[in-house]
Amino acid sequence: MTPDELRALCLEFDDATEEFPFGPDTSVFKVTGKLFALSALDSEPLRVNLKCDPDEAVRLREEHPAIAPAYHMNKRHWNTVTVGELPAPMVRELVEDSYDLVVAGLPKAVRLRLDRP
């Protein structure tokens, strides 16, 4: 997966936006103002921080060397994923799971508007 493909994936979700609060080199992807993915898209290797269920995060880290606790984030809830070391469908699933976890914490009216009850 290329940086452009990762950006397009993150932006294809309902109400997803890209912002640069940490400077021009770090893309922060949000849904209704809440972070669900963070990446320096120009970095090599390409990595992305994604929210994850705490139990699932531990399992993924044990099974995949390309998934580690997220740097500078709550390591219980966030993973850093080295994108090129995992199959694209798995990266897509991890990004979608992160988005869904953030949406699950939103008010019901917002979740329904986003078509994610």
C-beta of residue 27 within 8 angstroms of C-beta of residue 42: no
For residues 25 and 99, what is the distance between their CA atoms, to the nearest angstrom?
22
pTM of this structure: 0.93
Q: pLDDT of 29-77, one tens digit each?
A: 999 999 999 999 999 999 999 999 999 999 999 999 999 999 889 999 9
